Amino acid sequence: MKLKILKGTSEIGGCITEIVSNKGTRIIIDLGEDLPDDNVSKCENPNIDGLTIGDKKYDAVFITHSHGDHIGLINYVLDGIDVYVEPTSKIIYSLLSTFTHKKIRFKTKNMFFKKKIIINDDIIVTPYIVDHSSYNSSMLLIEADGKKVLHTGDFRNHGVKGKLFVPTLKEIGNVDIIVTEGTSLSRGNVKYKTEEDIVKEAKRVFYNYDQVFILQSSTNIDRIRGFYKAAKETDKNFIEDLFTSNITVSLKNDSIPNPKTFNDVYTWIPRRYLDKSFRFKKKYLFPFLKYSKQKSYVNNKYALMVKTSMIEDIKKLYNKNHITNACLVYSMWEGYKEKVEMKTFFEEVKKYRISDIIDIHTSGHADKETLGLLSFLKAKKIIPIHTIKKEELSNILDNVYLLDDNEILDV
Ligand SMILES: [Zn+2]
Ligand SMILES: [Zn+2]
């Protein structure tokens, strides 16, 4: 079998990996877009011959999770090539596309955890659930020509599903090659806080304020659970913005705080959605009206999930005297603070009596200690991707093998 990283050996952004069996079956793992700079989308056709342009030369595409840097380019896959996505990741990505005006043109096949998918009686792919900041993320075990390759996707073990990590590695057993994410390689030697630490920290902060505005990713479900818990324990109503509510309801999991099955979770409908088409509103807004009318903020103690596009909504709350003792909790990667949009938002909220901006966050990626656990699998070669400091991995693991983009490795 041959392995090639088309993209991702020297960047944290769009990742694309190719595996070709001796018989010529070709698969792709992840087809991600580069992370946007200041909202300028980099979602262009990657022009991969036989995959996104020209005549079909690939047999299947597998997506590890719903983050744009792993799934963002699937619209470009040529007809006739099967795209496998875990069903809830597909729901999340479809909603994200709808709410961000991204055109959706993809047919996908369902990928379920631990269920083998066999391509051309030749390549076997088995997904394993893994802890990450995107709901139901997968690691993929690829078997062909008597060899085993583990592609980790993005992962960590300090989140809610972290305790599954070591048992999953044991279940996978020895492999020949590991392709691993290495995001933290450029980010110092810290051990990351757990999601439980985040809840404790949130409780301490929430306790000091009557209104807490939360800026976090709507697809980070574990974080939503954590902040809901902190809101309850500090006697606040929990309000999700419309996009988040669409996600939490669609996942149909009663352990995820959502306005449909939790009688203490509400929906905030940002003003800008009122201008949307009737078709959009019928499907994504009208069903949530009943959860928004309960004047959830009326006792002036609430935790509200916000987006940087919601400044008008914050102004409305301020004008109605619903902001009296408030803070903004920033729960995203530090680097996003450099975006113009974010800087403007921080400036704007100050006008509405929200002057305390408090960081409560932990990474979605494996810290160095966790990367070290990959040694259990006794791989002959460990290839770092999704990193800007791949050399650093040799300080943690033996058998590190560095590849450049488009370099072919004979497995
Ligand atoms: Zn990710
Ligand atoms: Zn990623």
Residue 188: pLDDT band with limits 50, 70, 90: confident
Work out whether the CA dihedral 250, 255, 259, 262 comes out positive or negative: positive
pLDDT for the residue numbered 42: 62
Centre of ligand 2 from the C-alpha of residue 66, in Å: 9
Q: Which ligand is nearest to the CA of 181?
A: 2
pLDDT at 251 over 80: yes
Pick the CATH number of 2-188+364-410 from 2.60.130.10, 1.20.120.80, 3.40.50.720, 3.60.15.10: 3.60.15.10
Cβ proximity of 98 and 58 under 8 Å: no
Centre of ligand 2 from the C-alpha of residue 366, in Å: 11
Q: What are the residue ranges of CATH 3.40.50.10710 in the chain?
A: 195-359
Q: Which ligand is nearest to the CA of 364?
A: 1
Centre of ligand 1 from the C-alpha of residue 104, in Å: 20
Higher pLDDT, 41 or 287: 287
Q: Does CATH number 3.40.50.10710 belong to domain 195-359?
A: yes
Q: Which ligand is nearest to the CA of 92?
A: 1
Centre of ligand 1 from the C-alpha of residue 286, in Å: 31
Centre of ligand 1 from the C-alpha of residue 366, in Å: 11
pLDDT at 39 over 70: no
**Which of 90-104, 120-134, 238-252 is least confident?**
90-104
Q: What are the residue ranges of CATH 3.60.15.10 in the chain?
A: 2-188+364-410
Query: Mean of the per-residue pLDDT values for the chain?
Result: 94
Centre of ligand 1 from the C-alpha of residue 8, in Å: 13
Centre of ligand 1 from the C-alpha of residue 246, in Å: 20
Centre of ligand 1 from the C-alpha of residue 406, in Å: 22
Strand partners, 83: 61
- Per residue in 315-335, pLDDT (tens digit) is 999 999 999 999 999 999 998
- Integer Rg of the chain from CA: 22
Residue 405: pLDDT band with limits 50, 70, 90: very high
Q: Which ligand is nearest to the CA of 65?
A: 1
Centre of ligand 2 from the C-alpha of residue 67, in Å: 6
**Which of 276-290, 295-309, 344-358 is least confident?**
295-309
- Per residue in 6-37, pLDDT (tens digit) is 999 999 989 999 999 999 999 999 999 987 65
CA 260 remoteness from chain centre: 23
Q: What is the mean pLDDT of residues 385-411?
A: 97
- Per residue in 111-149, pLDDT (tens digit) is 999 999 999 999 999 999 999 999 999 999 999 999 999
Residue 106: pLDDT band with limits 50, 70, 90: confident
Three-class SS of 294-319: CCCCCCCCEEEEECHHHHHHHHHHHH
Centre of ligand 2 from the C-alpha of residue 13, in Å: 6
Q: Which ligand is nearest to the CA of 67?
A: 1
Q: Which ligand is nearest to the CA of 132?
A: 1
Exposure letters 92-122 (e unless 16+ CB within 10 A, then b): bbbbbbebeebeeebebeebeeeeebebeeb
Q: Which ligand is nearest to the CA of 363?
A: 1
